[in-house]
Amino acid sequence: MMMNRRMFSATLVAGAASLISSRGMAAKPSPIPARNVVLVHGLFADGSCWSEVIARLQAAGLNATAVQNPLTTLPEAVASTQRVLALQDGPTVLVGHSFAGMIVTEAGVHPNVSALVYVAARGPDAGEDYSALAKTFATPPATAGIVFNGDEGRLSEAAFLRDFAGDLPEARSRVLYAVQQPFQKALLTGRTSQAAWRSKPSFYAVSTEDRTINPDLERFMAKRMGAKTIEVKASHLSLISKPDEITKLILEATGRT
């Protein structure tokens, strides 16, 4: 069978992952008990998208804080998370959804961070061009729904309802669409300078029905980081449609289960 360019690139990426695995990354420590959880949202959202998970974490006796990501530049987004991490009173699990995986990867080296959780999130290596990596996999449908007004980007209503929040009741999706925050184009050009997942215990929730990030790309990133991985039959917004599963994974990262 003839192999096209995209298939060839994907094969190379998969091979690189296997090589990393076969060489053996340095063994990462098991999660230490943590009572704090810091949650970071990605594009097309704000901190309220974590409400379902926050309620469950609080019921479990944890201190949960959602960062309001400014969605301006990667350094500014990382700084906003670092300020919240500095306020925590001990070991803290850092959780990122979608684009916030970039922030978790960079800010996760903070000494307060005991473990990382990626929820259908980007998981770049240090200095990696994430866009180039993503192009080695089939382009997800939501990409075509991003619209710009000058330097501000948003997801169209049709793409938001269908490709971002496709497994939520339409009324709930429309509420989320109403609080969508625009992102600055400059945010997409940022690259991480370090990869916290290389030294911190990492966990990953793959959304199998994701139409915003290719699920196979999620699987690749999770495998590369050696993360404890679960697969959730959910849209990109598994943190809302499947909060019990996402909360359980976070609790595992806190050393509670």
- Residues with Cβ within 8 Å of residue 1, at least 6 apart in sequence: none
- State the pLDDT at residue 46: 95
Mean of the pLDDT values across residues 68-96?
98
* Reported confidence tier of residue 210, pLDDT bands at 50, 70, 90: very high
- State the pLDDT at residue 55: 98
Contact of 101 with 222, CB cutoff 8 Å: no
- State the pLDDT at residue 2: 40
- State the pLDDT at residue 31: 81
Q: Dump the DSSP string for 50-116.
A: GHHHHHHHHHTT-EEEEE----S-HHHHHHHHHHHHHT-SS-EEEEEETTHHHHHHHHTTSTTEEEE
pLDDT digit string, tens, across residues 84-93: 999 999 999 9
Q: Dump the DSSP string for 207-229.
A: ETT-SSS-HHHHHHHHHHTT-EE
The yes-or-no verdict on residue 239 having pLDDT over 90 is yes
The yes-or-no verdict on residue 150 having pLDDT over 60 is yes
pLDDT digit string, tens, across residues 4-51: 444 444 444 444 443 343 333 446 778 899 999 999 999 999 999 999
- State the pLDDT at residue 9: 45
- State the pLDDT at residue 256: 79
Mean of the pLDDT values across residues 117-121?
98
* Reported confidence tier of residue 78, pLDDT bands at 50, 70, 90: very high
